Amino acid sequence: MATKQRFRNQYRLEIREDDSLPMHVHLVGGNFDVLINLQTLATEGTFPCGLRDEVMAWVTAHRDELIKEWNTWH
């Protein structure tokens, strides 16, 4: 598992080497585990209050890098 970014010092954006398709990242921390599809940017799960826009902006800006790393791990 590789942490790609931290948000509010409590939540981590992770790529997990043992995950299956579709390519995605996890936002985890506390009781939260949100899956973000790197191809469609669709999400599954509930974001921590007020964090969705910040996380999605970061993922969108770094999407190509995240996809490249996903392909490296898988």
The answer, yes or no, to whether residue 73 has pLDDT greater than 90, is no
pLDDT, greater one: 74 or 7: 7
In angstroms, the CA 36 to CA 45 distance is: 9
Would you say residue 1 has pLDDT above 80? Answer: no
Please tell me the distance from the alpha carbon of residue 63 to that of residue 9, in angstroms, as a whole number.
21
pLDDT digits (tens, 9 = 90+) for 4-62: 899 999 999 999 988 888 999 999 998 999 999 999 999 999 999 999 999 999 999 99
Q: How far is CA 5 from CA 11, 12, 58, in A?
A: 8, 6, 9
Delimit the domains of the chain by residue range. 2-73
